[in-house]
Structure 1
Amino acid sequence: MVDGVDYEVVEIGRRPNDDRRRPSAEIVGWLLRCDCASRSSSAVSTWTDPVQWARVPSASLEDLARHRVFAPDSDVDADDRPEVAEAARAVWQRDHLDPLDVEAEIRAAADARREADARLDVAVARARRLGRSWADIGAAAGMTRQSANERWRDRV
């Protein structure tokens, strides 16, 4: 507070005492921003939410789903409120982190598919050892007798 005016940092400077400040009453909104490294590489990913979170003048106008946040002049640190922080975190997760992790999701799905294919191969080999026909195996696998035979005849 300087001369009775509460100031907020609007941009963090690169050096000490280099922050840009603005009186709290003049803060009209916030932008979500993240500079982070992707989990799968060391490359830095910079993201800024394209929608500004607008400051509204009364609690009755607050609508977090529409990025409208009430913050009185005495408390413009709206992210200190758990419900505001959670709403912002959900946007950040959905719009920034989830797209970064899509490669991990693909790897996990591919691993699961390989494991399922291996289990299926073992089950088909067991069925053949027990004398089941290709027609029975195909029906159980959701394919024709011929497709089942072509897929597994060299593996059993």
Structure 2
Amino acid sequence: MRDYEIVPDAEVIGWRGACTCGWRGMMWIRVGSAVEEDLPRRRAYIPSSGFSDPSASVEEAIEGEWRAHVMPLKLVDEVRAAAREYASAGERLTDSVAEAKAGGATWAEIGAAVGITRQAAQERWKNARYPLR
């Protein structure tokens, strides 16, 4: 099953971008002559030749609209990935602190290693347990 529709050249009235999320860009109108073409107003002339592919400039504009649409989603994915890395680093830090404490390190040494006071280190990790491996 195709995820697109083939329309005869003579029936194509314009083009627009679309996304699998349901987003649809603004319509680019196909005009009947080069004189009517006005790209700033989204009016493009494509002569009838059996294929109704938009010009490179129209394709680039449509792709730009789609990229603007997906950019926030991409950026949120980056935030999600960073949050996973942050959580993983936090777990690794807690395990390292517990291991250092079990190995005889003082709270002052641990605090200095992470840039906080002895008291802050002890308060933050006093319940950390060295993981059994």
Per the TM superposition, whether the score is higher than 0.5 is yes
How far did residue 106 of structure 1 move? 5.2
Percent of residue pairs bearing the same amino acid type: 37
Instruction: Pick the aligned partner of 1:110 from 83, 99, 109.
Output: 83
Does the Cα contact within 8 Å between 1:69 and 1:84 map onto a contact in 2?
no
Q: 1:144 aligned to 2:117?
A: yes
Q: 1:32 aligned to 2:8?
A: no
Deviates more, 1:130-139 or 1:146-155: 130-139
| TM-score relative to the length of structure 2 | 0.55
Q: 1:46 to 1:143 in 2, by over 3 A?
A: same
Does the Cα contact within 8 Å between 1:136 and 1:145 map onto a contact in 2?
yes
Does the Cα contact within 8 Å between 2:110 and 2:121 map onto a contact in 1?
yes
Which structure shows the bigger proportion of residues in helix conformation? 2
The letter for the 1-side match of 2:12 is V
Which structure shows the bigger proportion of residues in strand conformation? 1
Q: 1:94 to 1:142 in 2, by over 3 A?
A: farther
Does the Cα contact within 8 Å between 1:138 and 1:148 map onto a contact in 2?
yes
In structure 1, list runs of 5 or more residues that go unmatched.
1-5, 11-26, 37-44
Deviations 1:109-143 (A, max 9, x none): 43322211111012112322343332232232232
Q: Distance in 1 between matches of 2:43 and 2:111?
A: 59
Instruction: Pick the aligned partner of 2:54 from 78, 100, 112.
Output: 78
Q: Distance in 1 between matches of 2:41 and 2:124?
A: 53
The alignment of Structure 1 onto Structure 2 pairs a total of residues equal to 115
Q: Distance in 2 between matches of 1:101 and 1:93?
A: 12
In structure 2, list runs of 5 or more residues that go unmatched.
1-8
| TM-score relative to the length of structure 1 | 0.49
Q: 1:105 to 1:74 in 2, by over 3 A?
A: same
The letter for the 2-side match of 1:32 is G
How far did residue 101 of structure 1 move? 8.5
Instruction: Pick the aligned partner of 2:73 from 84, 99, 113.
Output: 99
How far did residue 152 of structure 1 move? 0.7
Q: 1:132 aligned to 2:117?
A: no
Indicate the SS of the match to 1:47.
Answer: coil
Higher relative contact order (CA 8 A, sep 6+): 2
Instruction: Pick the aligned partner of 1:7 from 1, 5, 10.
Output: 10
